[in-house]
Amino acid sequence: MSEKRIEISQLGEFGLIDRINRQFTLKNESSLKGIGDDAAVIQASGDECMLVSTDMLVEGIHFDLSYVPIQHLGYKAVAVNVSDIAAMNGKAEQITVSIALSNRFSVEAVDALYQGIKTACENYNVDLVGGDTTSSAAGLVISITVLGRAPKSKIVYRKGAQVNDIICVTGDLGAAFMGLQVLEREKQVFMADPGMQPSLEKYEYMVGRQLKPEARTDIVFDLEEAGVKPTSMIDVSDGLVSELFHLSRHSEVGIRIYEDKVPIDHMTFETAVEFKLDPITCALNGGEDYELLFTIRQEDQEKIKKHPDIHMIGYVHDRKNERVMITKQGNTVPLRAQGWDHFTE
Amino acid sequence: MSEKRIEISQLGEFGLIDRINRQFTLKNESSLKGIGDDAAVIQASGDECMLVSTDMLVEGIHFDLSYVPIQHLGYKAVAVNVSDIAAMNGKAEQITVSIALSNRFSVEAVDALYQGIKTACENYNVDLVGGDTTSSAAGLVISITVLGRAPKSKIVYRKGAQVNDIICVTGDLGAAFMGLQVLEREKQVFMADPGMQPSLEKYEYMVGRQLKPEARTDIVFDLEEAGVKPTSMIDVSDGLVSELFHLSRHSEVGIRIYEDKVPIDHMTFETAVEFKLDPITCALNGGEDYELLFTIRQEDQEKIKKHPDIHMIGYVHDRKNERVMITKQGNTVPLRAQGWDHFTE
């Protein structure tokens, strides 16, 4: 390369994606939506659409097999893809799984990986329809593509949030991040003294959220049952604030959330304090929660306000550059995205 | 792992795929065909089907950037996926591209990779609709998933060849393999003396076939125009014999081909001799030709016999374990598959 070489870390992951995306335009009539949402949308015929999303997981970057059981890795790899289809208000139906692996891995390890994939396929009613297996010089790479389905009229994009819409998030936030902190700490303890057995009982909920997250396909079903179509939606993979920024940018609206409405599990809270971390920061920027973040019209509020796992955390306003949180003390502070970027970490 | 550890090399790639495949059954009505053909088939609605295929390319296993220009790698990665859709008698329309790359790669290298991907997308009328970019500890991994389309009634599988059908192959065979031999030799020469400029003019055709293969989407079009639907089809990625075995096994029929009908380009022939290789062995087992191998009914022979790029090389018979070649001397010899297996090489 010449002296003008630009490092990928200078652009970051989103910068690189933007740069790639700018070079491509969609030409086929069937390509309704390309890069830039949780999944691409392809018109199959008439109102029927297929949704496509893909994820690549690299050992040493996305997972550490020294504390991640490989069957959980298989499960998680499927769940996070199914979550992308749920975030479009669609139903996942098929996946392809490609793996590259070095000779460090035995057939038994591959069996365990696919056992996790199979369990996830069964839980989410998804069929494994294809894939590729190859060797690698070092480590494990998993690439999954998921295909989903939705009528065109039901699909929900990141764009679409309107002024005065209510911002909702499911479940609780920050637990997967705290689970990762616990696992990393136990790994250090174990490396210092391999005779030590990790004591994870107390942290079971958070560790489970990190190792075996679930896609919220139940919420897609519940919203349909309640007759609510969100105006915009995204899944929480990089952290709440990062996803709020996506909704804000795509919908060209501002965001206002309330600190005291952000759902945090009590064990997550306590563990954050134990780790000398601010619980709200963990919830806002933790990542890997795979909850659904969406906006609904004011008039739909009644229909879901009794749902035990949907939390209304704020609302949409018209000053598109104003993304703020009202603290418990009543102060207005700007939200700052600290999502994951594997190129610049 | 315990003492019972089984090495993946003991199973080989096909053994591993079979083992995985046995664990999974299709449950969604829309999953018409899963693992085991060039692409999976998903019913979109009514007669309209989507075709899905995926490939993973790993640096050091599938490509060597010391002699493969990275933009050609991008082109080839798309072309080989489009070829899988052509092998189902379908039309590719969308791809997703995921890459993992180390900090050895600059933004300019990524630009060049996507320039090749873009050129292929334009040539094949395919839209890039999604993907993932991430870092890797070492090397480049490319995972592409292609989506195609075909009416259910037009899809051609590996199964379906009938007794007395004529076996056809397009283009010529063995050139991509000889191109690889030339490139490997030049690499050795260059490593011994970096001042040496490689002289590749004479081998241009073969090197081009290796570095920048084309999917035979033109053949799918020509067959449609001629009113011929093949009874079975596959693309030649692992080598002619390996693919003949797939057609034979899936269709439960025997195969008889004629050595003097196997198409070999004259430069491929001469170069094989120069390399002290048997040209017919290169054509039978070379791999990476990405030509189409298919069977047609006897009554369709007239419709395509004047096609300059379709060669009738043999016929289908009823003794399913008999896959033979009639040599130029008139001897009958069993065909032996020597396809690629990255796990056992």
**DSSP-assigned letter for residue B165:** P
User: Based on the domain organization, do B142 and B175 belong to the same domain?
Assistant: no
Q: Which domain holds residue A246?
A: 166-334
Contact B93 A55 (CB under 8 A): no
User: Based on the domain organization, do B195 and B135 belong to the same domain?
Assistant: no
| Mean pLDDT on B147-155 | 97
A 105-134 residues with CB < 8 A to B: 105-111, 114-115, 118, 121, 125-134
Taking the alpha carbons at both ends of chain B, their separation in whole angstroms is 24
| Helix/strand/coil (H/E/C) assignment for every residue in A266-313 | HHHHHHHHHCCCCHHHHHHHCCCCCCEEEEECHHHHHHHCCCCCEEEE
Mutation to test the A interface, candidates B54, B146, B342, B345, most A Cβ within 10 Å: B54
DSSP strands (E only) in B220-267 = 232-235, 254-258
pLDDT of residue B345: 45
Last residue of a domain, one of A96, A125, A154: A154
Q: Is residue A161 part of a domain?
A: no
Q: Is residue B339 part of a domain?
A: no
| Mean pLDDT on A129-136 | 94
User: Based on the domain organization, do B210 and B296 belong to the same domain?
Assistant: yes
Q: Is residue B183 part of a domain?
A: yes
User: Based on the domain organization, do B129 and B217 belong to the same domain?
Assistant: no
Higher pLDDT, A195 or B65: B65
pLDDT of residue B1: 43
User: How far apart (Å, rounded) are the C-alpha atoms in residues A9 and B135?
Assistant: 10
Tokens linked to A239: 């952290």
User: How far apart (Å, rounded) are the C-alpha atoms in residues A112 and B339?
Assistant: 28
User: Based on the domain organization, do A108 and A175 belong to the same domain?
Assistant: no
With 70 as the cut, is the pLDDT of residue B323 above it?
yes
User: Based on the domain organization, do A175 and A304 belong to the same domain?
Assistant: yes
User: Based on the domain organization, do A136 and A25 belong to the same domain?
Assistant: yes
pLDDT digits (tens, 9 = 90+) for A33-49: 999 899 999 999 889 99
Mutation to test the B interface, candidates A127, A142, A149, most B Cβ within 10 Å: A127
Is A215:A83 a contact under the CB 8 Å cutoff? yes
CATH of the domain at B171: 3.90.650.10
Closest Cβ–Cβ partner in A2, A28, A54 for B145 = A54
Lowest mean pLDDT among A167-176, B196-205, B249-258, B275-284: B196-205
pLDDT digits (tens, 9 = 90+) for B257-311: 999 999 999 999 999 999 999 999 999 999 999 999 999 999 999 999 999 999 9
Q: How many domains does chain A have?
A: 2
CATH of the domain at A81: 3.30.1330.10
Beta-bridged to residue A294, according to DSSP, are A168, A233
Q: Which residues of B are part of a known binding site for Mg(2+)? A: 38, 53-55, 84, 132, 235, 238
| Mean pLDDT on B55-77 | 95
Q: Is residue A3 part of a domain?
A: no
Instruction: Quote the percentage of chain A above a pLDDT of 70.
Output: 97
Contact B107 A24 (CB under 8 A): no
Q: Give Cβ neighbours of residue B121 (< 8 Å, ≥ 6 apart).
A: A24, B78, B95, B127, B128
Q: Which residues of A touch B126 (CB under 8 A)?
A: 28
Q: What angle is formed at CA B149 by the lines to CA A46 and CA B78, rounded to 5 degrees?
A: 130
Among B119, B143, B148, which residue's Cα sits nearest to residue B133? B143
User: How far apart (Å, rounded) are the C-alpha atoms in residues B324 and B334?
Assistant: 4
Q: Which residues of A touch B131 (CB under 8 A)?
A: 20, 35, 54
pLDDT of residue B24: 94
Helix (H, G, I), strand (E, B) or coil at A11: helix
User: Based on the domain organization, do B182 and B150 belong to the same domain?
Assistant: no
User: Based on the domain organization, do A272 and A311 belong to the same domain?
Assistant: yes
Contact A35 B4 (CB under 8 A): no
Determine the number of helices (DSSP H) and then strands (DSSP E) in chain B: 10, 13
Higher pLDDT, B230 or A14: B230
User: Based on the domain organization, do B306 and B188 belong to the same domain?
Assistant: yes
Q: How confident is the model at residue A343 (pLDDT cuts 50, 70, 90)?
A: low
